Copies of this chain bind each other. A is one copy, B any other.
Amino acid sequence: MDISTVAGLLLAFGLVLWSLLIGGSLGLFVDVPSVIMVIGGTFAVTLVNFRLVDMKGVGTVVMRSFFFKLPSPGDEIERIIAYANLARKEGLLALEAKLHEVDDSFLAKGVQLVIDGFSADTVRDIMDLELSWLHQRHALGKKMLDAMAGFAPAFGMIGTLVGLVQMLANLSDPSSIGSGMAVALLTTFYGAVMANMIFLPLAGKLDVRAKEEALLRELMIEGIVAIQSGEKPQLIKEKLKGFLPPSEREAVAV
């Protein structure tokens, strides 16, 4: 669970809600047809732009990025060093006993490949391919959220144009001009909120998480290949610590 995403969303929506309430009633800002049009329209053109299967996949990637906590790189370095020690003492096959305690499926796959006796190069090739598909999933997710951040305000503007034309065609009743225009502006408001408070910052967060995960995966690949090659655990640790920012290196035990 990513605290800052949830806290930021609650704070942003809380602030907007508060600004709606202190200036009048909330009802002014709720117009069900406008909501349907902006949300539905954004969804519809996203469906044209991408494929339903991609939209489902991206939903999963986004959810996974926000609610699934990545293992800490420091912990993983310590785990890899422990496995390296074990492998040097008792051989690569001894890792089989540890496999059940690896809950990260990426690392587990790598360890399995080592146990199965594949060469270092083959292990690296297979794991790099896994990583490239991870990059592609993240890139597609970011692209889709960015596209939605463009479509939402566009539908907001289309909705406002519709409202303006309808209002301008009925100028005979001056008392309705203000409320007509207020309603017309609502779709622009919805579009701006969706783009700037949801899609754009989530696209940015997905990018941040993608970089974090990619670094962790590269660290794991480097570590697994080093175990396979029988490198000294102390040397592996020094190499893997280079994947951590300087400020976090001290925290790695041993």
Contact = CB atoms under 8 A, between A and B. Distances in A.
Contact of A44 (B8, B23, B170): B8
Given A48-B202, A164-B185, A165-B186, A196 B246 contact: no
A23 B188 CA distance: 17
A48 B193 contact: no
Interface in A170-193: 170-171, 175, 177-179, 181-182, 185-186, 188-189, 192-193
A48 to B, nearest CB: 4
A37 interface: yes
Question: How many copies altogether?
Answer: 5
A246 B133 CA distance: 8
A204 B158 contact: no
B189 A242 contact: no
A69 interface: no
Nearest to A193: B158
B179 A169 contact: yes
A229 interface: no
A36 B179 CA distance: 27
A46 B182 contact: no
A213 to B, nearest CB: 13
26 contacts: A2-B51, A4-B51, A8-B45, A9-B48, A11-B43, A11-B47, A15-B37, A15-B40, A15-B41, A16-B162, A19-B159, A24-B166, A29-B162, A48-B197, A48-B205, A49-B204, A49-B205, A50-B205, A161-B188, A161-B189, A161-B192, A162-B189, A164-B182, A168-B181, A169-B178, A171-B177
3 nearest CB pairs, A to B? A8-B47, A49-B204, A8-B48
